[in-house]
Amino acid sequence: MENKPLATLVVVEHDNQSLSADTLRALSAASQIQQDGASLPVTALLVGHQCSSVLNELKCVQGISQIVAAEYQYALAENLSTLIAEVGRDYSHILAPASTFGKNLMPRVAALLDVGQLSDVIAIESLDTVIRPIYAGNALARVRSDDTTKVMTIRSSAFDAVTVSDSPVIENVVTLETVINAEHSEFVSQQKAESERPELPTANVVVSGGRGLGSKENFALVEQLADKLGGAIGASRAAVDAGFVSNDLQVGQTGKIVAPQLYIAVGISGAIQHLAGMKDSKVIVAINSDPEAPIFQVADYGLVGDLFEIMPELLEKV
């Protein structure tokens, strides 16, 4: 085990059509794993079904030394984790985005390899030391791992995306023929919300609504502002639990972590779990009727007042 070569494996997240922005940022994190000032060789593991467009996109990504591709019609966490663990035995570091995809997958990989997991990594200091947030982001921990394989999930909001060239830069593509079937689970169906709006993790502008909006109908105010600003929609956990929007729009410790150029919080008090998901945003605007609301402690601009009076006026002037 001591003779294992130093190399990094990045698990690619995609929708069989295009690469996720989280993957490009995980690849950026991989480039920061260095020895003697040089990045370790990076292999991208692409598992999917009829995803040649993703492969072509991946070939244009800077900093990858080779691509390993496998054709799986239904890549479930149960069988995909086994494949990653088998391929990953030859690597010193295995990375995936800390998205729903990565959070579902990587703990299984770590368990199969009998190692610990380094979760939500926001900085890489050396081959064995990383920085990750704890206590809902109120403190940062420097963690050193002595495991032979370092299994990590990467908080994408902490890294810039790698450069993608206009033409292919990678020729080394290895195709895996092995297919591992999931014994105890099967793919039944997939329901995906279609939206013209940008994805939450990649949007430059995010408008989020909280319990203060009062109803699903009133949430339309948030949607209208997001559409005017060309932004994505987010929500606090309270708004999701109240049924105003679906849980894939939740921002916070148990939802998505975002760091857009502009974050507008409407009727969100700012519980610590919500702040953990958005406090790295470049400019934060808060609209709340309670001047003591915790959201104002992180906001760059605060509007204290009735959101039902402020929002129509704001929509008119934008």
Residue 256 has pLDDT above 50, yes or no: yes
Domain with CATH 3.40.50.620 in the chain: 8-176
Averaged pLDDT, 53-77: 92
What CATH code is assigned to 200-317? 3.40.50.1220
Cα separation values, 221 from 8, 239, 255, 300, Å: 45, 14, 22, 22
* 295/284 Cα distance (integer angstroms): 9
Q: How confident is the model at residue 196 (pLDDT cuts 50, 70, 90)?
A: confident
Residue 81 has pLDDT above 90, yes or no: yes
Q: How confident is the model at residue 73 (pLDDT cuts 50, 70, 90)?
A: confident
Averaged pLDDT, 135-139: 85
**What is the predicted pLDDT for the residue at 281?**
94
Total-model pTM: 0.85
* 285/164 Cα distance (integer angstroms): 32
Q: How confident is the model at residue 3 (pLDDT cuts 50, 70, 90)?
A: low
* Whether 151 contacts 9, CB under 8 Å: no
Q: Percent of the chain, pLDDT > 90?
A: 78
Domain with CATH 3.40.50.1220 in the chain: 200-317
What CATH code is assigned to 8-176? 3.40.50.620
**What is the predicted pLDDT for the residue at 254?**
86
Whose structure tokens read 């920085």? 131
Averaged pLDDT, 194-212: 89
- Residue-averaged pLDDT of the chain: 92
**What is the predicted pLDDT for the residue at 181?**
79
Could you count the other beta carbons within 10 Å of the beta carbon of residue 160? 10
**What is the predicted pLDDT for the residue at 193?**
67
Nearest CA to 42 among 56, 12, 63? 63
